[in-house]
Amino acid sequence: MLILFFAFYFSLLTFHIFIMNTFQQNIEILRLQDPALAAQVVESSGGTLSIQTAKSGVPTASVNDRSIHSAYDPVREAERWAEHQIKDCQEGETLVVLGVGLLYHVQALRARLPQDAVILVMVPDIAELVDGLSVRSLQGWGERVQWVGGDPEQMALQVVQQSQRIRLLTYEPAVSIHPNSYDAFRSQLRDQLAKRVSGTLHIMVVGPIYGGSLPIAGYMVRALESLGHRVSWVDHSLHAPGYQHLDTIRDDRLRMTVQQRFSDTLGVISLAHVAEDPPDIVLAMSQAPLSMVVLEQMRRKKVLTAMWFVENFRHLTYWQQMIDGYDFWFVMQQAACLEAFKNAGASQVSYLPLAADPTIHQSVDLTPQEQQELGADVSFLGAGYRNRRELLPVLLGHEWSFKLWGNEWDRAGTLEAVLQRNGARIDTSTSVEIFNATSINVNLHSYTGMGFDPDGDSVNPRTFELASCGAFQVIDQRTLLSELFDESMMGVIKTPEELVPAVRTYLHEPERRREMAEQSKKRVVMSHTYAHRMQTLLSTVGLASPDRIGSILQGERQAESLMARSRDCPELLPLLKSFPATDRVELVDVARMIRRKGPEATLSREELLVLMMDEYRQEKRDFL
């Protein structure tokens, strides 16, 4: 018995000594790379990971009974992960690893990359790193890994200071230990990269035939152009009269079939535009008539596609059939929406709230006549959804004037007395005038039920537009509102019962209203314009495709960058030197420049090769 006790004690002691030795050796390696981080590690006691022994005999880890590495063979698992990751990696990229755990995946990655490849490991939690360094040795590989700690903003800054050609490699099991930190890091990194954008893209925006997302497509186009990108707008609203004329077909099935064919044809038209002038990315707006067949053809032709789905994902569910069609999805709802899209198979889905265009949604001076016609103490502008029909009558019969604007208000009951212009659709410029002419703009999000939507999360475009106009609004509570605007910027009501008291209160406080509206306007200009949204969207795409969109955004296609990187192909230099340094230069541009030499020109071999490539680039034989 005593012998057994000593044997057990001895083995424990040996294990403890092994851990101490490994840890100390690791600290020495770490100290050479990052003394500050090494000091932090020494100070920390660890404890994030629970360490066990895998069947293969090496340490493995879990958190709250959830495995971070394989319980059987963590080394093999990490090798498979690394092999999968390196398939897409390109020379010159900085590889940023998200997820620490026991670092098996980092070691496997290091082993598969050239010596000069840069690997940065993000460390949001020192305790987790301590756990890893206690049982895994860095010797022989950890010397060629860089560690980046701090809060998400600091980490993002450190990463972009190292390189702007970044590829994120996510080891999901370890990321799930600190999901919020990594999300925040990604968001910060995206913002940091957006600030450093110097290159311009060719973006094809495909809009809907008609509907609420149509004006947003227009705002997107303006925003992208204002950011310096070349935009090709495939404006299908041109075909709206023809499409709407199909309503004259009385048979439902026949009409729907013809409408589908019409829509399919518009998709093929979009494809023809892509073939004629290939963009870097096709950016589709909700309801864009791009069928799966068209999207699959674009994918075959290596055209990146993104969809900004500005609908309530619970109400309009066509996204489920289209989920595989787009490379990137952007949605205006969070948590449940992101989860639903991921579960349905979306490879990349990101939150992107709506916004305003301050060049359109702005303060305007009104003539007395306009003020007379469009102004009121209280106004509501929008379509006659059920909850609005239910709630808005409470605004009638008070000491204030109330006007109702918008369409789809047939059989509006008592509201008919205040319905303006017989319920005609109100265009954007008139909307802006109404917002400006109204003391209190009531902004109730649409809902097909009664009262306020209990799942109401996304914030409608009206919120941003009113704010951008410097117009005061009383708005129903939305879960995502508080991260976009402060409560000091608009009157937020949590229940329908609060509507009348809120209106009454604010109506008598014009100075407060003015200050709140001014604050909301500043917030829009600072953070919520469509230009901001497009920057975020493109940075997200760039981060996910560093060798394509990312490299273009970082200016790698500009003449000066191409010349600086042309050491492997000095023949390219004479072809590039005639371009202005910051001009984006593609094969087509070089070919055009060569053709301008005129019919008598004698061309070099390199020039002939460029023209030959351009000839093959132009071929569109199997695009449609």
Partner 1 sequence: MPSSGSNFPRALIVQLARLGDLLQSLPVLSSLRERFPEASFDLLCPAPLVCLAEMFPGIQEAISWNGEDWHVLAKGSNGDLNHTFPQVVEYFSRFPSTPYSVVYNLNNHPRSVLAAHLFSEQVVGAGNQGPLHMCLPPWVAYLRHVANERGSNRIHLADALCGLCGMKPPAMAPTMQAIQIELSSDLASIMHDSSLVRIGIVIGAGDVDRRVPLATWCRVIEACAAHIPNCVCVLIGGAGEREAALALEDQLAPQYLSRLVNCVGRTTLPQLAHVFNRCEWVIGSDTGPLHLAVACGVRTIGWYFSRARVHETGPYGVGHYVWQHLGHGHPDLWPVMETIQLILHHEPVDSCSSEWDLWTSHRDEWGMFYSQNGKPDHAIVEREEIWERLSGMSLEHAV
Count CB-CB contacts under 10 A for residue 247. 9
221 CB burial (10 A radius; 0-12, 13-18, 19+):
buried
Of the pair 396, 608, the CB lying nearest partner 1 is at 608
Residue 305 binds partner 1 (CB under 8 A): no
CB 352 within 8 A of CB 536: yes
Span from 306-314, 437-445, 483-491, 604-612 in contact with partner 1 (CB under 8 A): 604-612
Q: What is the largest CA-CA distance in the chain?
A: 103
- Of the residues 226, 586, 593, 623, which one makes contact with partner 1 according to CB under 8 A: 586
Residue 498 binds partner 1 (CB under 8 A): no
Q: Which stretch binds partner 1 (CB under 8 A): 147-155, 341-349, 363-371, 592-600?
A: 592-600
How far is the C-alpha of 550 from the C-alpha of 93, rounded, in Å?
Answer: 11
Distances (CA, A) of 487 to 379, 442, 474, 496, 535: 20, 15, 10, 17, 26
**Backbone dihedral angles phi then psi of residue 54, each to the nearest 5 degrees:** -75, 165
Q: Is 602 in the site for partner 1 (CB under 8 A)?
A: yes
Does 548 contact partner 1 by CB under 8 A? Answer: yes
Binding flag, residue 598, partner 1 (CB under 8 A)? yes
302 binds partner 1, rule: CB under 8 A: yes
Which SS3 state, helix, strand or coil, does residue 66 take? strand
- DSSP class of residue 421? G
Considering only residues 554-573, where is the footprint of partner 1 by CB under 8 A?
A: 556-557, 562, 565-566, 568-569, 571-572
Q: Which stretch binds partner 1 (CB under 8 A): 314-322, 495-503, 516-524, 586-594?
A: 586-594
Q: Look at the alpha carbons of 51, 53, 57, 61 in this order and tell me if their dihedral is positive or negative.
A: negative
Q: How far is the CB of 232 from partner 1 (least distance, A)?
A: 16
Q: Which amino acid is at 32?
A: L
By rule CB under 8 A, what count of residues binds partner 1? 39
CA distance 407 to 382: 7
Report how far apart, in Å, the C-alpha atoms of 311 and of each of 260, 354, 458, 565, 615 are.
Answer: 20, 10, 9, 44, 42
Only one residue has tokens 């449940």, namely: 336
Q: Which of 473, 447, 464 is nearest to 533 (CA)?
A: 464
Binding test (CB under 8 A) with partner 1, winner from 112, 144, 504, 595: 595
198 binds partner 1 (CB under 8 A): no
- Per CB under 8 A, 597 contacts partner 1: yes
Does position 610 interact with partner 1 (CB under 8 A)? The reply is yes
Residue with Cβ nearer partner 1 (252 or 568)? 568
Minimum Å distance from CB 587 to partner 1? 6
Q: Is 599 in the site for partner 1 (CB under 8 A)?
A: yes
User: Residue 326 and residue 324: Cα distance in Å, rounded?
Assistant: 6
Q: Which of 222, 428, 611, 623 binds partner 1 (CB under 8 A)?
A: 611
| Residue 236 vs 584, nearer CB to partner 1 | 584
Give the binding site for partner 1 (CB under 8 A).
Answer: 302, 547-548, 551, 556-557, 562, 565-566, 568-569, 571-572, 576, 585-587, 590, 595, 597-603, 605-606, 608-617, 619
